[in-house]
Amino acid sequence: MDPHRKRRLRLVVALSAAVLLAGALIYTSFSAATQASTPSDLLASAEPGRSYELTGKVVADSVGKDGDKLTFRVRDRDGTASVPVTYEGVVPDPFREGREVIVSGSLQGRTFVAERDSLITKCPSKFTKDDTST
Amino acid sequence: MASLGSACLAVGLLTAAYAATASLYGARTGDRRAVVSGRRAIYCLAGLLIAATVVLQSAFLRTDLSYRLVAEGSSTDTPTFYKLTAMWATQEGSLLLWALLMSIFSSAVLFLTRRSLREIAPYATAVLAGVAGFFLLLMVAWENPFATLAVVPTEGAGLNPLLRHPAMMIHPPMLYTGYVGFSIPFAFAIGALITRRTGADWIRATRRFALIAWTFLGAGILLGALWSYSELGWGGYWAWDPVENASLMPWLVGTAFIHSIMVQEKRGMLKVWNVSLVIATFVLALLGTFLVRSGILDSIHAFGASTIGKQFLAFIAVVVVGSAWLVVSRLDSLRTTARLDSLMSREAFFLVNNLVLVGLCVVILWGTFFPLISEAMTGEEASVGPPWFDRVTTPLALVLVALAAIGPALPWRRATRLGLARAFRIPLAVAAVTLVALVAFTAAPDSPTSLAMFCLVALVLAVVVRELARGAAARRTITGDPWPRALAQLVARNRRRYGGYLVHAGIALLLLGVAASSAFMEQRDVRASPGESFRAGGYDITYERPTAAIGRDPAGTGAPISFGAVLTARRGDDVQTLRPARNFFPSRDPSTGAIGRFFEGEATSEVDVRWGLRRDLWAAIRPDIAELEPAIREANAKFADSSGDVQALVIAAIVERYRNDSPPAAFRVIDSPLVSWIWIGGAIVLLGALIALWPSPDARLRRVTSVYAARLGKELSRA
Amino acid sequence: MEYALAVILLLALVAAVVARPLVLGVGDDTGESSTHEELAAAKEAKYREIRDARLDLEMGKLTPEHHRTIERELRAEAIEILRRLDVVEGKAPPA
């Protein structure tokens, strides 16, 4: 095979591989993704049993224990709509009332049941104007 | 003094502007005096920023609370080490750090190239001045590190307890050294493109900086992982968090760059690819800095909308568009006639390696920005988690290790079938034996991807060992030296090659640790009372007794109160003691009560790890202080106005309560195999990089000769 | 007031440093010409290639005949570079 055709063939193979891999990437990411939502989104339009990533602030005085599980309420960042959450697993060190959290799980009945170890608490803001120094 | 600092920054901005203008003027008109003047301006910039940093650090050291940064990020009771490192825990301080490193590195490279790269250096100076100027502008206009407070507080907020860990405090300077380091080859690439001098000159001058940057960036990433493992309470070292990914992406593309510049140096190929790669690396470094500070992605570090996000985005856009335009308009001068001779050659493998690395970076970029992508495409914001990342990166990582095994055994240009057979006979045998042994004697087959990784790691190590052995043997036939000397001479005379092989070996060991610990770790979450025992992995763990300490924090973080446990772990004859604890830092919120505030502030997990070559035993505790709350409330009411000494006694009494009458605490214990090899592998990578970086003696000789030639020329011209 | 004073002082310092070459000129300007540099770099790179090829032979990655072919190519390329270097250095007329 003359070198020109060899190079053309290599290019075609490489491009096809790239297209295939890109397709695989897009497919797997959309099928594995969990939708992010705020408490008001959840209250308005959540499908029961479907996995969501809930983001919001921990409501003051809402943190409690239910046996081994941690319970708290999450509200909209700027709002009052809130959702009760039941959580099992590692609680990150910065977790406390008023902090922003991200937790994955699904709505079961009226409660958001979280996946184990999925709680993430954002570091207290040091990088914004509204400092919440402790 | 604060005004001195501010003045340094303002004058610095003007100096950077002058440097860019003078260099560009000198480049266009050929006036060497302007070029030299511009270069000196960069030296001045370094001086100004060093002065500014000294002013700020001395404020931290004296805990001068009139500085807003000191009041927000430090306190009189913060340990000295953390006072010095608090600077880059803040937005403003980290911008200053970036600018400082930028000016120092720029000065270094311009000094080293002052007699060479006549056409390119002025443009590179202008680019470097422009980048430094951007960071200075951010500080002068929006985020001044030297802002002072009208009302000086009596005590500062203290450094965030989570950051009080040595690894976490060296992590930002290392990362920034990496990011800034990559700006040097970027600037010279831009200069090369503008002047159409796209030969290997710009690479030769900046290769070392690229390698140094790569090393520091890698070390920074590894330190971040180490911090996560030994400081946070979840027991993992990598969570595919956007901020982690932000530092990994430039490192991956930087790795590709380091490999492909070798191809351009040897064969003159891949010119377009190389300039594109270095531009991409720098853009990703800027993106990494931007991601941590902009709040556009939900992550542990994203702090909600920040004030400089838009500016960063604008700057990145300018860099991307400008560079892309330059590359496209210079495509004709980037063409080469050299072609790949054969697919079985080192060049070809470097190219494939590049594609895999860039592919990895693209995949991670996709996943990191997926919330924005999915919102744009479907209107719903969705995100992908660690399982997805693991799933898509594992196959690419496996291919990468395979390439790292095969590449070193290939010669340049083309390999012959006989040469290949000879090169791989033994390594393949070693890998096969490893496979059989693992299948027969261990649980490795339970995880096919780990099994594949283990065998490939064995292959890499075998290839590296073989290269060293055969090279030393070849030297011995010539010089008759004993083995150690032959080996040392071999490595010393071929530092780039063997340093590189050592890096491959280190990466292989690192991935070995990653594969083994992710697939085979055993984790146990339990609630246990003192005296209870439970099983975790291969260990029998007994909660011997609770511990409570005041003012004697063994980790050196300055925490006043520490509740923990003593655990004994038994595995056959091996008995270990673990002392996990939780440190409580006082809150500054007066509503929690005079006594209560000591229990309601930030709390950090002090993890205890028994490191080992074969396995790590990791334990964290979350003590239950709910039962102390009635006592705390009572104390708040009774002793709110008492003196400090009385309050201290009351707190000591409450703390003692915990020790004597302890409720069950929540424990997480992890038994994970081969984790230490991640850090060991990392150290070997560092060693390999150092070897590859070390200048060879003949290079030094050549530079001396050219200095003499310069002197001769000068003397001749005067005569 | 302090701030303005500091700015003026620092500006003066910087100006002194950067004005020096403008005022005094760069008389001792003996760097290499860039073509010379490029060729010198190409020469070093070519030498390194020859050394690497020899190392590959010693390691058994290349057969002796294979190595002979490669070394012949590399030597020819090196000689061309050396010749062009001589031209630039003025030691030989351009061919």
Closest CA to B581 of B628, B537, B548, B550: B548
Question: Who among A28, A124, A128 is closest to B392 (CB)?
Answer: A28
Q: Which of A71, A76, A93 to mutate to test the interface with B (most CBs of B within 10 A)?
A: A93
pLDDT of res. C34: 66
Which 3 state secondary structure label does DSSP give B672?
Answer: strand
Question: Who among B11, B199, B418 is closest to C11 (CB)?
Answer: B11
C-alpha span between C82 and C39 (Å, rounded): 8
| Alpha-helix residue ranges (DSSP H) falling in B524-643 | 597-600, 629-639
User: In the complex, which subunits touch C with 3 or more CB pairs below 8 angstroms?
Assistant: B
Packing angle, helices B346-368 and B386-406, rounded to 10: 170
Per-residue pLDDT band for A131 (boundaries 50, 70, 90) equals: very low
- From the CB coordinates, do chains A and C have 3 or more pairs under 8 Å? no
Which 3 state secondary structure label does DSSP give B575?
Answer: strand
Question: Who among A91, A122, A131 is closest to B622 (CB)?
Answer: A91
Q: Does C74 touch chain B (CB under 8 A)?
A: no
Closest CA to B631 of B595, B684, B667: B595
What would the DSSP string read from start to end of B100-130?
HHHHHHHHHHHHHTTTS-TTHHHHHHHHHHH
Packing angle, helices B91-112 and B120-141, rounded to 10: 160
| Least confident window among B440-454, B603-617, B702-716 | B702-716
CA atoms within 13 A on the CB side of B606: 25
Closest CA to B409 of B506, B501, B509: B501
C-alpha span between B494 and B500 (Å, rounded): 10
How far from B261 is each of B202, B347, B363, B411, CA to CA, in Å? 10, 10, 23, 17
C-alpha span between B313 and B91 (Å, rounded): 16
Per-residue pLDDT band for B361 (boundaries 50, 70, 90) equals: very high
* pLDDT tens-digit map of B493-529: 888 889 999 999 999 999 999 999 988 989 888 888 8
**Does the beta-carbon distance from A25 to B384 stay under 8 Å?**
no
**Does the beta-carbon distance from B387 to A34 stay under 8 Å?**
no
What would the DSSP string read from start to end of B206-248?
HHHHHHHHHHHHHHHHHHHHHHHHHHSTT--S----HHHHHHH
CA torsion through residues B197, B199, B205, B207, sign: positive
Per-residue pLDDT band for B18 (boundaries 50, 70, 90) equals: very high
Whether pLDDT at C28 is above 80: no
Q: Give φ, ψ of B565 to 5 degrees.
A: -150, 155
Identify residues of A whose CB sits under 8 angstroms from chain B CBs.
3, 7, 14, 21, 25, 28-30, 32-36, 53, 55, 65, 68, 89-94, 100, 102, 104, 117, 120-129, 131, 133-134
**Can you give chain A as a three-state secondary structure string?**
CCHHHHHHHHHHHHHHHHHHHHHHHHHHHHHHCEEEECHHHHHHHCCCCCEEEEEEEECCCCCEEECCEEEEEEECCCCCCEEEEEECCCCCCCCCCCCEEEEEEEEECCEEEECCCCCEECCCCCCCCCCCCC
User: In the complex, which subunits touch B with 3 or more CB pairs below 8 angstroms?
Assistant: A, C
Taking CB atoms and an 8 Å cut-off, how many pairs form between chains A and B?
119
| Least confident window among B41-55, B270-284, B657-671 | B657-671
* pLDDT tens-digit map of B303-347: 445 677 778 888 999 999 999 999 888 888 777 767 777 778 888
**Does the beta-carbon distance from A125 to B90 stay under 8 Å?**
no
Question: Who among B303, B388, B589 is closest to A134 (CB)?
Answer: B589
Question: Who among C6, C33, C63 is closest to B419 (CB)?
Answer: C63
Q: Give φ, ψ of B556 to 5 degrees.
A: 75, 25
Question: Who among B37, B201, B711 is closest to C21 (CB)?
Answer: B37
Contact (Cβ atoms closer than 8 angstroms) between residue A95 and residue A101: yes
Contact (Cβ atoms closer than 8 angstroms) between residue B586 and residue B560: yes
Q: Classify each residue of C48-62 as buried b or exposed e, where b means 16 or more C-beta atoms within 10 Å of its C-beta.
A: ebbebbbbbbbbebb
**Does the beta-carbon distance from A65 to B626 stay under 8 Å?**
yes
Closest CA to B536 of B675, B663, B668, B442: B668
**Does the beta-carbon distance from C52 to B412 stay under 8 Å?**
yes
| Identity of the amino acid at B450 | S
Residues 5-64 of C with CB under 8 A from B: 6-7, 9-11, 13-14, 17-22, 25-26, 28-34, 37-38, 41-42, 44-45, 49, 52-53, 55-56, 58-63
ipTM of the complex: 0.82
Q: Around Cβ B677, how many Cβ atoms within 10 Å?
A: 24
| Least confident window among B258-272, B537-551, B631-645 | B631-645
**Does the beta-carbon distance from B302 to A35 stay under 8 Å?**
no
CA atoms within 13 A on the CB side of A101: 30
> If you average pLDDT over residues C6-10, what whole number do you get?
91
Determine the distance in angstroms separating the CA of C14 from the nearest CA of chain B, rounded to an integer. 6
**Does the beta-carbon distance from C59 to B470 stay under 8 Å?**
yes
C-alpha span between C63 and B423 (Å, rounded): 12
| Identity of the amino acid at A64 | G
> If you average pLDDT over residues C30-53, what whole number do you get?
74
* pLDDT tens-digit map of B130-186: 999 999 999 999 889 998 888 888 888 777 777 777 877 888 899 999 999 999 999
Per-residue pLDDT band for B685 (boundaries 50, 70, 90) equals: very high
| Least confident window among A72-81, B372-381, B590-599, C25-34 | C25-34
**Token match 């081994």: residue?**
A68
**Token match 């985020």: residue?**
B143
- From the CB coordinates, do chains C and B have 3 or more pairs under 8 Å? yes
Position with higher pLDDT, B714 vs C26:
C26
Which 3 state secondary structure label does DSSP give B673?
Answer: strand
> If you average pLDDT over residues B537-563, what whole number do you get?
81
Q: Does B497 touch chain C (CB under 8 A)?
A: yes
C-alpha span between B401 and B507 (Å, rounded): 8
C-alpha span between A58 and A62 (Å, rounded): 8
Determine the distance in angstroms separating the CA of C61 from the nearest CA of chain B, rounded to an integer. 5
pLDDT of res. B304: 43
**Average pLDDT for chain B:** 86
C-alpha span between B492 and B289 (Å, rounded): 37
Per-residue pLDDT band for B686 (boundaries 50, 70, 90) equals: very high
> If you average pLDDT over residues B455-459, what whole number do you get?
94
Whether pLDDT at C17 is above 50: yes
**Does the beta-carbon distance from A133 to B157 stay under 8 Å?**
yes
Residues in CB range of B532: below 8 A, 6 or more apart: B542, B543, B664
Q: Provide the token pair at B629.
A: 């709350």
**Does the beta-carbon distance from C41 to B422 stay under 8 Å?**
no
Q: Which residues of B are less than 8 Å from A21 in CB distance?
A: 359
Q: Give φ, ψ of B350 to 5 degrees.
A: -60, -40
* pLDDT tens-digit map of B69-115: 888 888 887 888 888 888 888 888 889 999 999 999 999 999 988 88
Determine the distance in angstroms separating the CA of C68 from the nearest CA of chain B, rounded to an integer. 13
C-alpha span between B506 and B679 (Å, rounded): 9
pLDDT of res. B167: 78
In chain C, the residue whose alpha carbon lies closest to the alpha carbon of B119 is: C34
Which 3 state secondary structure label does DSSP give C40?
Answer: helix
C-alpha span between B559 and B604 (Å, rounded): 9
Q: Provide the token pair at A36.
A: 């992010």
**Token match 């703390």: residue?**
B655
Question: Who among C18, C25, C61 is closest to B44 (CB)?
Answer: C18
